[in-house]
Chains A and B, each alone.
Chain A
Amino acid sequence: MTKRRVISFAQNAVAIESEGTRADRIVDFLFHDTSSDDRIVPHVELRVAEPIRPETLAVFQDYTSIFESESDAELAEFLLGNVTVHLADKSHGGMVFHAGALVWNRFGVLVPGSIGAGKTTMTTWLVTRGLDYLTDEMVWVPEGTDAIHGLTRPLNVKKPSRVVLQDIFDFEKHAAEILSSDRIDLIPPTALKPDNVLSTPRLGLIVFPKYQPHGELEIQQLSKAQTGFALLETLVNARNLTEHGFHETARLAQLAPAYRIRYSHFEQIREPIENLLASVDAR
């Protein structure tokens, strides 16, 4: 029995076929909350199935195996990364940022950052503080709008972040709900917040995080131009946009307050973040 699922984001789509209970379970785990628009023709067709070797699952593209593993978590990590790259590659109609996103009182909180900045760590913590989760990886803002569309997927927590997060999330207690490998933990948002609500909020606040293991808290409010510059550094699909998304990103940068936050532990940022969220409430 083959199941087919279309994952759509930023006006493009990837199709995934899964064969067998194990493959179905992984695909459903990863893309349960991801949007699906049947009107968009997928530009990539993937298949998750058992290859010849027993106990192993593989990801196929165009009838060629591109990844095999005995580990569900490793396969899930690969599939998640592969789909995300394909969706970013053909994205258009707006800006795609490398960013986490959450919702607070109907407003979107954007958490942009390059690899290693601590987007997922900050996003995870914010979900435990009561914000609704949208994504920890990629956000699409349609041209001319300030609507935040998240690529909703399990949070992809790298192993070094587990130490940072273990005080706010009991990994052992939730072991049956998450997929873990030597490198990552994939955590469904409902494991962090059972009543998580998905939506498409308007942009209300931008936080550029930088986690560093040691050091003092630093919070800098960014000017609009600094915000634009920092956002452009996280723009994933510039080559697909008019003028590389320069004017659109500059427009977006002027719509919400932005802060750069450097922190070493969550207790440092609890009060400042609450104050920033209160300022969003007041908008």
Chain B
Amino acid sequence: MATSNKPRRMSEYRLEKMDEEFLLFDPAQTKILYCNETASLIWQLCDGTRTTQQVIATLSDAYPDAANVIANDVDATLKLFLENGAIEYV
């Protein structure tokens, strides 16, 4: 997926925040997603206004020590979200 696309959370998904992690649930498809701390941050940044590249940049600024793996993490996580209908690109 092009990094200029803007990921946006699907509003149908319910959210439970537990410490720094999330559980996401789609009642229509009865699908549950577990998001570790990183995935939870990515989910929060999927607001439809940031591009994927901007999501990566935001996280890299916040966690410079992990900057070399963040692009891959974001890519894999967004792919998982998309496969489960948890986000769409706008």
Contacts and interface: CB of A to CB of B under 8 A. Distances in A.
Interface in B44-70: none
Contact of A223 (B18, B25, B27): B18
| B contacts with A: majority SS | strand
Interface in A222-263: 223-226, 228-229, 232, 238, 243-244, 246-247, 250, 253-254
A238 B30 contact: yes
What is the interface of chain A mostly: helix, strand, loop, or mixed?
A: helix
A244 B36 CA distance: 22
Contacts, number: 46
A224 B14 contact: no
Interface residues of A, number: 15
B34 A225 contact: yes
Interface in A157-179: none
B21 interface: yes
Contacts of A229: 23, 32, 34
B83 interface: no
Nearest to A233: B32
15 contacts: A223-B19, A223-B21, A224-B18, A224-B21, A225-B18, A225-B35, A229-B34, A232-B32, A238-B30, A244-B30, A246-B16, A246-B27, A247-B16, A253-B18, A254-B18
